[in-house]
Structure 1
Amino acid sequence: MSKPDAEKQERSRLQHEAEHEKPTKRNPVLFYLMILFAAAFLLLLMSFLMQRRANQEAIDNLQETSNSATQSLQNTIAQNETLTKQVEDLQSAVSDNQQTIRDQEDRLEALEQENEDLTKSSQAMDWFWQINEAYVRGRYTQARTLIEDMGEELPEYLPKESITDNDRFSPYDRYQEIYEALY
């Protein structure tokens, strides 16, 4: 073989070895980059964990506030229902009281009317007694004067039925009899 071929082969072999040879010394820039990436990853991981914890605390606070607001709302609703029931009870009591007042007012009016009727009936009986006495004694002029003084209203208050069982006239019928005899 010739020398140039041998050199060529030697160069080719050296180049092949150089290409396939592993460097024994590591590149310090690559190592530095790996450390930086690892530090950045750790910082991101720590930031993520801190943010997650802060978010969880915020969620817990919001949940607690929500629970408190829900409880407050439930208490308010319960109070509202209680007050509504009390209002209904009071309205029912007022309605009952108003009905009782109306009933009592109606009863009072009836009693006042009855009292007025009894008073007029008593006055009519008093006039009737005097008229009857004057008529029985023959004092016809005095009986006429008493009838005129008695007026037209009071005879209506005389009892129209006899309360005695002697088959006699009632005070009203007797008054009519005297009135017809005198006029």
Structure 2
Amino acid sequence: MSEARNRVATIIRWVTIVAIVAYPVAVWSGLKTWGIGILAPLLGLVFILRLLTFRGKLSQLTFFGKAIAAAGIVLVAISALLRETSLLLYYPVAVNTLLFILFFSSLRARQSVVERLARLSEPDLSPAGVIYTRRVTQVWCLFFVCNGFLALYTCLKGDVALWALYNGGISYLLIGLLMGIEWIVRKRLQRL
């Protein structure tokens, strides 16, 4: 029984991850096809499931993951109550803001988020590794600020197609590019 429950929970987690990643495209096509009356309850359900099933590798990540899901619930609820679809566009702004807060606040802690994640696979991180992870955390902070402002610009511009293109495509490409560059730099530094 518990094995079946775990499978269902895993399936729900993966479905919500896919739905959250596809959020910009879902909003863009959902607003064109169904309108807020159908789209808001569907998005609300996805965010509620995400809130209930999110588990990060670190407790700090779990808290912020749940905060991001809660932000989605609030934006969807206000959009549905006010019948104002433009509020749905601000979810990527909220995500970037919360991620910036997470990464920036960790720079004041003994270990940055990136260092804590690195220590999951390499517990005995060298002093040079600690400095490197702090730099990577700073780079991600800068990325979240820039990405958040670009997401905000697409909201204020009022062009839902542009918003979906940036937040559902270009933004993910930039994240992948940054992750790829960081991986290449890390591998080169490990060889030195």
TM-score range, shorter chain: under 0.3
* Bigger Rg, which one: 1
More relative contact order in 1 or in 2 (CA 8 Å, sep 6+)? Answer: 2
